[in-house]
Each structure stands twice: as structure tokens, then as C-alpha cells.
Structure 1
Amino acid sequence: MDARSRAHSFNSAAAQYEASRPSYPVALFDVVEEFLGRALAGARVADVGAGTGIATALLCERGADVVAVEPGEAMAGEFHRVLPDVPIVRGDGNALPLADASHDLVTYAQSWQWTDTGRSVPEALRVLRPGGALAIWWNTTAFDVPWSSAQHERIARHCGVPPRSSVRPDDREAVRLAGLTGLRVVRRQIRWQRRVSLDTHLANIGSRSAFLVLDQAANRSFLAEERRRLREVFPEETVEETYVVDLLVAGRP
């Protein structure tokens, strides 16, 4: 399955994505503000690959003036339902429908991997004002949590991909981004947790692109077995999920 098909697979599960996906910790935005040398309040921000608006909502809570960019029709529809007062335009990171030097911050929450960096990096730099920044981040697996690490390996096998042994992006991604931009790049890792129902945890797994492109009967069987396994770890069916946000920020002179 090609990357484009996987990227657009989220449209088949937009409501599930909105209901089950994890958010992001406050500390992430503290780091971005520290890098920018200013508060996000009043900053013009483009949230690219915004999906259903999980990161957008948090940026708005910080007082940022946000426009969302999202290619998927169903995801954009869910975004509009959740955040009806926030502007959203259709487009993607490879060709931003935004004016030159118009934004203080361009963000990619869980979406950078869907871009062609040969195109998306110049586009982000084009849109940024002098002194602005490009910030990309992912919620990644906490591999030191035994049940989570074991589940990560089972998911990878089910999806037919090699399991990762570290968080993403690694240091090579930071070096690569610095090389593409010619700019200073800062990397931070921020650990955080959330407690959710077992149903929400399993729905989150099922909303991943690697799952959405697979046979749904096989997915249901896999998730039923995961339910059985996790009931042994969390008999009250409340799952404590641990994440490590991996954040890269590149500043424009």
C-alpha cells in the first residue's frame, strides 16, 4: 500500500480518530514558545495536516491565531464539527495554500511523514516570517513500559512492518532537517501519560493508517486478542498509556 493511500485512509475513520487519538502535553508548547522567544498568544500559526484538530485546539487555547490545512475531506469535516470557528483550508504540506512570509509558526502534528520533504521544507520556509519556526512532532511509544513495548511489536507484526526499537524521529532526522533548512534545529523529548478506557485504547490502535488499509476482519480478530491480553494487565479496563512526544523545531532567521 503506497503512502498516499495510507495518508488518505484516515478519511474512513475520521470520527473514530477524533474520539480516540491522544492529545499532547502542555510542556510541548512551552518548548515551542521558548524557542520562538515569545508567547503563542497572538502568533499566526498554520497547523498543517491538522486532521480533526487535536493540535489545533491546543494552539487556540494558547491564544494563537490558527489556520488549519488538511487534505482529507472527511477529516476536514470532522475538524469543522469540533472547531467550527477555526478556519480550515484544503491542501497539504507540499503546496501550502498560504501567502509568503505570513505566519510565525508552521506546525506538523503527526503529519510530517506524509510530506515530500524536498517540497514541504521550502514551502514551510516560504510561509514563515523572519524569526518564525517550523515545529514537527509525534506521540511515540514509551519502550521502557513492558506491556506497551510488547504491544508495539505485536502491532508491527500484524501490519507486516519491522518493529521500531526507538522513538521517532531519531537524531538522524534532526540532522537531516538541519541540512534541508540550513537552520538551527532543536530536539526535545517529552514524556506524558493519559488514562483511557480499554475501548478507547483499542479504537486508537484501529485508527492508525497501517490498520485502516488492512482486512477489517483480520483487524477485528487482532483487537479482540489485544482486549483479552490487556484485561490481564488492566482488569478494571482503564489503560494507562505512556507516550514520549518527539519534537523538532527549526528556526527561520
Structure 2
Amino acid sequence: MTTAEERQKHRQAGSFGVAADAYERGRPPYPPDAVAWSVPEHARTVVDLGAGTGKLTRALRAPGRELVAVEPSAGMREQFSRVLPDVRVVEGTGESIPLPDSSADTLVCAQAWHWVDPERAVPEVARVLRPGGRLSLVWNRRDVSVPWVAELDRILRDYAAAPTEDRQVERVSAPFGPVERQDFRWSHPLTVAELMDMVASRSYVITLEPARREELLTRVRALVDARRPAEMPYVTECYRTELAP
């Protein structure tokens, strides 16, 4: 990655706070099957790394389970606390998690691992997990096998440089074991307004120049008005690995 690409990635990673409201309204939840596959039922302390506004956190709740959310953006933490006032949320990143050694059974990172530096984040996650603990990485991605979703994707790529598709999963190595993968296909019901918020909350859209962002959103609105989708099809991409005992 060039220096210019690194600067753009850093700018996009830090952009979410200004669009926290749109993020909360437009981003989808996570399907229960994907959550069950990612987090063992017996996990008593679960960390949601890069928690955003708590989209995944809500699905992680279980009787007797302690949740801790870690989020670098002040704007996102503020929105998180409005939605989930009873869940502890702390400032931190994958490279610097403000939790004690061996304090968590599972750490889940949804929509965020591609922002971290794995060389620093992997040992930091290993420090926080108990021996035998699990690291799970999750992404919701739009199902572009559906024609209108593929058209939406083309519009976005005409205007915006999406973050790298590199999930950096292959860079999760020792002291973690082999990485397993499972995909889950599902659809999320949404309104036109929620779809527009979903687009507006993308980091690569937030960071566009205002006139160009408005032009993009106008084209997306024209597509939506023509197709009138009632749901967004997703593939939830899940990975899990366990820390060596």
C-alpha cells in the first residue's frame, strides 16, 4: 500500500463519527445463525471490537453474559450509549484494547478488521483473551449476484474508492490456530430512507467532496425509485479461530 493509499484509508477509518446517525439508521443487523456460529454459547465475557453504534452488540446479549464494546470514534460511542445505555463502551482500537490480560472469552470484530494493523492487533487480541478464547471476524456484504444490487455497486464504484477488499484474515496467525469460514445468506427489510442512509454511511461516501457526494446520492435515489426494493440481500462472511491453550 502506498503512502497516499494509507492516508486515504486512515481518513476513511476516522470518518464514521460524523455520520453516526445515518450509520445507526441504515446499517443492517447480523443474522442469528451467524452470531451463534461466531460466539460460543458458553462465552461469559464477550468483547465487541469496533462496535460502532452497537449493531452486533445487540445480537450478542445473552443471560449471564458480560459485554464490553470497544470503539475509537467519539461520535459512534455517543450514539452507542444512546441505543445501549446498559452496555459498557470504552475508547480503543484493535492495536490498543483498554482491558486487562486474559479477561475475555470471545472477541468479535464486525465490519472493522480491515482497518487494523494485524501485526499489532493479533498479539493485542491474544493478550485480552483467556487461553482457548475465540477471535471471530464478521462482515455483512451486499449480495451483488442480485442484478439491482450489482447496479448499485457499479454506481458506488463510479464515484468512490471503496476500502480494500483485503480482510487481512490470512494475517491472523500464531498464537491462534487454524481459521474457519462460514457464509450466511439472508435479506434485511428496509425502507427507501434506510437504504439511502446505508449508502450515506459508507466511509468512502462520507469522505467525498460535497458536490460529488450529492451527485452519487442522486443517482442512487434514481435507481431506488426505479427498482423499489423492499429488502437488501446480504452475505454475512464469518471467520473464527481459537487462541492456543
Asked if these proteins are the same fold (TM beyond 0.5), I'd say yes
Cα RMSD (Å): 2.0
1:70-112 per-residue CA deviation (whole Å, 9 max, x = no partner) reads 1111111111111111111111110111111110001111111
Q: 1:223 aligns with which of 203, 210, 217?
A: 217
Shift of 1:63: 5.4
Q: Which moved more, 1:18-27 or 1:60-69?
A: 60-69
Is 2:114 the counterpart of 1:120? no
Moved over 6 A (4+): none
Q: 2:193 aligns with which of 191, 196, 199?
A: 199
TM-score normalised per structure 2: 0.90
1:122-153 per-residue CA deviation (whole Å, 9 max, x = no partner) reads 11111111121001111112121111112112
1:24-82 per-residue CA deviation (whole Å, 9 max, x = no partner) reads 0000122124xx4x444xx1011111111111111125753101111111111111111
**What stretches of structure 2 of length at least 5 have no aligned partner?**
1-6
Structure 1 pair 175–11 and aligned structure 2 pair: CA distance change class (3 A): closer
Is 2:151 the counterpart of 1:150? yes
- Size of the aligned set, in residue pairs, is 238
Q: In the alignment, is the contact (CA less than 8 A) between 1:152 and 1:163 conserved in 2?
A: no
- The residue aligned with 1:49 is 50
1:2 aligned counterpart, secondary structure: helix
Q: 1:209 aligns with which of 194, 203, 212?
A: 203
For 1:101 and 1:163, locate their aligned partners in 2 and report how far apart those are by CA, in whole Å: 32
For 1:114 and 1:62, locate their aligned partners in 2 and report how far apart those are by CA, in whole Å: 31
Q: Which moved more, 1:216-225 or 1:190-199?
A: 216-225
For 1:189 and 1:131, locate their aligned partners in 2 and report how far apart those are by CA, in whole Å: 23
Structure 1 pair 64–217 and aligned structure 2 pair: CA distance change class (3 A): farther
TM-score normalised per structure 1: 0.87
Q: In the alignment, is the contact (CA less than 8 A) between 1:157 and 1:163 conserved in 2?
A: no
Structure 1 pair 242–104 and aligned structure 2 pair: CA distance change class (3 A): same
**Pairing 1:1-253 to 2, within 5 Å after superposition:** 1-33=7-39, 36=40, 38-40=41-43, 43-61=44-62, 64-160=65-161, 169=167, 173-177=168-172, 179=173, 181-234=175-228, 238-253=229-244
**What stretches of structure 1 of length at least 5 have no aligned partner?**
none
For 2:63 and 2:195, locate their aligned partners in 1 and report how far apart those are by CA, in whole Å: 27
> Residue type of the partner of 1:218?
R
> Residue type of the partner of 1:240?
E
